[in-house]
Amino acid sequence: MENRFSLKRRSLLTLTGIAAAAGLTGGCDGVGSFFGRMFAMPPRDTNYFTENKKFYVVNYSDSPFNVSRDLRQDEWRLAVKGEVKKPLSLGWRELLNRENFEQISTLMCIDTLPGGDSLGNARWRGISLKKLLREAEVDEETTRDIVFRGADAYDDSIPLARAMQDDVMLAFLMNGEKLPKEHGFPLRLLVPGLYGIKNVKWIIEIEAYAGDYRGYWQRKGWTDDATIKTFSRIDSPGHYQTLRGPEQRFRGIAFGGPNSISKVEISLDAARTWDSCEIETPMSPYSWVIWNYTWHPHKRGKYQVAVRAVDSKGQPQIAELIRPQPAGSSGLHTIIADVESL
C-alpha cells in the first residue's frame, strides 16, 4: 500500500498479490474501483457473516506488541480508572461471570477505498460498557471522553455520551468462538457505526478522562469523530470478467455505518441512469446488507457499472471521490462488465 500512513493489514495478501503480479503500485485496497485498471478481477463471495479466519486484520505498524504471543488469559486484567468513584480491576473469570449480550455488527477500517475489502460482519458477544462504567460510578459531570488502551500501547477514545449507549460492547466472543488473538483477545471494543480505529483491541485499561483525548490516529491527523460513511460494493461479477448469456446477476454489499440501508441502486451506463436493486433483510441494524440485481443485456460490449446506496435516514452515499485520510473515503465503486455473447 502507499506509505501515506502506516496501517498494516493482513487482508491485503489476496488482492495485493494480484496487483503486485500485474506490476502495479499505489492503493491496494479497492482494486478495480477507480484506478481504471485493465486487468480482470475475480468475483468475490458475498456472505452475510464473515468467517473469523477471513476477517480483515489491521494493526498500527510500529506496535511493540507481538500478537503472535498470547496475552495470557490468567494474567490479563482490565483496569477501569480515572474520573470514577470506584476504580475496578477485572480478570478473565470475572469478565465471564458478568451479564453479557450478543450483537451482530459490521466493522470497517477507515482506510477502506471504494469497493475495498477492509470490512467484515460478525456476531459478537460481550459485556455492556455502560454497565461497567455505571458500576465504577463514573463521574458524568467531569468526564468528557472514555479512553481505551490496548496491550500494544494503542489508544483511542469515544465521547462519554457515545460510551453510555446500549450498543457499545466489550466483546470476548466472535462468531461463537473465543475472540481470536489477531482480533483482540481477550477483550476488544465495538462501537457500531464508528470506523475501526475506535474499536480498540487487547484492552487492558479504560479511563474516564476529563478532557478531549487524542488517540493514536488523531495524533497523526486522523478524525476523532470517525463516523462511518455509507459504502457499497459490487462483489460479482468481477471487474472485466467475461460474461456470456442473456441473464446476468449482480450481487454485493452496502453498509450505512451508524444507520441501516434503505436503498441500493445500480447503473449500467456509467452513472447516467439508475435502477433499484433488491435488498436482503439484515439480521441487525448495525450490519451491512446484501443486494442483488438481475440484468438482461441487449447487446455485447463493455459496460461501466456503478453502485450507490441510500441510508435509512435518506442520506445518499457520497459520490465524490475522496481519499481515506483524514475522515474516511467516499466515491462509488465502479467496474467494467464485459458482455462477450448474449
Ligand X SMILES: Nc1nc2c(c(=O)[nH]1)N[C@H]1C(S)=C(S)[C@@H](COP(=O)(O)O)O[C@H]1N2
Please list the alpha-helical segments (H only) found in 180-220. Answer: none
Among positions 37, 123, 201, 233, the unique one binding ligand X when judged by CB under 6 A: 201
Exposed, middle or buried, 314 (CB in 10 Å: 0-12/13-18/19+)?
exposed
Minimal distance, residue 226 CB to ligand X, in Å: 10
Q: Which residue lies nearer to ligand X by CB, 7 or 243?
A: 7
- By CB under 6 A, residue 183 contacts ligand X: yes
Cβ neighbour number for residue 338 with a 10 Å cutoff: 18
**Chosen from Mo ion, ligand X, none, partner binding at 183 (C-beta under 5 to 8 Å by type):** ligand X
Among positions 92, 124, 154, 303, the unique one binding ligand X when judged by CB under 6 A: 154
- By CB under 6 A, residue 107 contacts ligand X: yes
- Ranges within 60-89 binding ligand X (CB under 6 A): 60
- Amino acid at residue number 335: I
Q: 202 in helix, strand or coil?
A: coil
The answer to whether the beta carbons of residues 196 and 58 sit under 8 Å apart is yes
Q: Which residue lies nearer to Mo ion by CB, 151 or 197?
A: 197
- By CB under 6 A, residue 222 contacts ligand X: no
Q: Using CA atoms, how far apart are residues 324 and 342, in angstroms rounded to an integer?
A: 39
Spatial CA neighbour of 239 closest among 113, 169, 333, 107: 333
Among positions 71, 90, 109, 305, the unique one binding ligand X when judged by CB under 6 A: 109
Minimal distance, residue 180 CB to ligand X, in Å: 8
Q: Using CA atoms, how far apart are residues 22 and 24, in angstroms rounded to an integer?
A: 6
**Residue owning grid cell 500485474:** 22
- By CB under 6 A, residue 192 contacts ligand X: no
Q: 305 in helix, strand or coil?
A: strand
- By CB under 5 A, residue 310 contacts Mo ion: no
- By CB under 6 A, residue 124 contacts ligand X: no
Among positions 1, 12, 15, 58, the unique one binding ligand X when judged by CB under 6 A: 58
Cβ neighbour number for residue 260 with a 10 Å cutoff: 19
Among positions 29, 117, 152, 207, the unique one binding ligand X when judged by CB under 6 A: 152
**Chosen from ligand X, Mo ion, none, partner binding at 104 (C-beta under 5 to 8 Å by type):** none
Minimal distance, residue 278 CB to ligand X, in Å: 29
Interface size with Mo ion, residues (CB under 5 A): 5
Minimal distance, residue 8 CB to ligand X, in Å: 8
- By CB under 6 A, residue 57 contacts ligand X: yes
- By CB under 6 A, residue 114 contacts ligand X: no
Minimal distance, residue 196 CB to ligand X, in Å: 2
Q: Which long-range contacts (CB under 8 A, 24 or more apart) does 151-154 make?
A: 151/65, 151/71, 151/202, 151/203, 151/204, 152/59, 152/60, 152/63, 152/64, 152/65, 152/67, 152/201, 152/202, 153/63, 153/64, 153/65, 154/59, 154/60, 154/63, 154/200, 154/201, 154/202, 154/215, 154/216
Binding stretches for Mo ion (CB under 5 A): 58, 109-110, 196-197
Binding stretches for ligand X (CB under 6 A): 7, 55-60, 107, 109, 150, 152, 154, 183-184, 196-197, 199-202
